[in-house]
Chain A
Amino acid sequence: MVEIKVLGTGCARCNELEKLCYNVAAENNIDADIKKVSDLKEIMSYGIMQTPGLVINGKVKISGKLPTSSTLLNWMKEN
């Protein structure tokens, strides 16, 4: 199972990223556990300075930007 965390305090892009994760996982039948993290202290523990941040299996993949769905799919499959 892929563990995905979307870090963000409720900006428009954060919600977009969360949706994108659900869609990509569903379309490709990937078993993913997607969580939204909005607690600032927890967000900061990943060392990012821009939201949204995307953490896959404990690793920060991107911050401040949205990945393309193909990049996102690759990240999900890596694990």
Chain B
Amino acid sequence: MKYKKKLWTVILLLVIWVGIYFNLEKLSALINDISGLSSIKEGYARSIEFFIFEVPKVILLLTLIVFLMGIVRSYFSPEKTRALLEKKSLFLGNVLASVLGIFTPFCSCSAVPLFIGFVEAGIPLGVTLSFLISAPMINEVALVLLFGLFGWKTAAIYISTGLLIAIFSGYIIGKLKLEKFVEPWVYEIKSGKRENEEEKITFGDRIDSGYIAVKDIVSKVWIYIIIGVGVGSFAHGYVPEDFMAGLMGKSAWWSVPVSVLIGIPLYSNAAGIIPIVQVLLEKGASLGTALAFMMSVIGLSLPEAVILKKVLKLPMIFIFFGIVGLGIIIVGYIFNLIY
């Protein structure tokens, strides 16, 4: 029984995971004692201790979430999402598209075929854009890192504000009736119907997609985590506490829009940007400003604009980035007010 074996392997791995994760503190304390690190009073010893505990914690969390997301995503596909979005009313369509954007497998290199596929099926422009905003901006790697480094509240804020921005930006664009800014050839395309639609997928195959996701993502981002946490633990001891306060603190009212503007040309994956956000926060940047910066870097990117330029005319790209950017700025201000 191949399938049973797979299932037991997963259960065994989960047990090992839980065992390590919930004993990390003890394990790292043990390492610190044996290596004599805990007896050193200097600041660098604290930095190393922080690093030894934080890196395995974040990588463990990431592996688990990416694995589970790989399984969950195998239940979704752009084709199914499209079918769900057909004939939905405007606002409901935006909500559904934004939520599905989290779960549907998406790569920005497929943004154009996906856009055409949606529009051609009669899904309104605004609903399609809600999907295209949510899919890259709400990212499981970012979620895990925020959860691991800042706690569940920050992670929840990130998801809910990301959803709100995707829903309302798409809704507003839908209301503005901007169809004239879509390249006309998009509407002329007659895409063929695919035949062999649903192949049979067993739960064993879904477990495999979990492993593939872990292999794909973790193998790409582990180095960013090590560098990021490394920079973070160094800054921990050596950069003055209020270093960023003047530039990105609450008192600087202009810091939110400036952070968003700076974030657009910067292009990084979530794993690379979050450790930077961590340093910014630790050194006096306010939460709203740091979150706005992060969302702008991962949600709005020049490469994506270039890709979308194939199907959208220039004014539309500006409106798209303008509205999403404005949404991020509003979220940034609200968080600076609350916290």
Contacts and interface: CB of A to CB of B under 8 A. Distances in A.
A19 interface: no
Given A59-B196, A60-B194, A60-B195, A48 B113 contact: yes
Interface residues of A, number: 20
Contacts of A41: 185, 189
Contacts of A60: 194-196
Given A59-B195, A60-B195, A49 B109 contact: no
B78 A50 contact: yes
A64 B191 contact: no
Scoring A41, A47, A51 by chain B CB atoms within 10 A of each residue's CB, the highest score goes to: A47
Contacts of A12: 109
A64 B110 contact: yes
For chain B, give the interface size range: 20 to 34
A50 B112 contact: no
A50 B105 contact: yes
Contacts of A43: 113
A14 B107 CA distance: 12
B192 A47 contact: yes
Interface in B76-106: 77-79, 82, 105
Contact of A45 (B77, B191, B196): B191
8 contacts: A11-B110, A40-B113, A44-B113, A44-B117, A44-B189, A47-B117, A64-B78, A64-B110
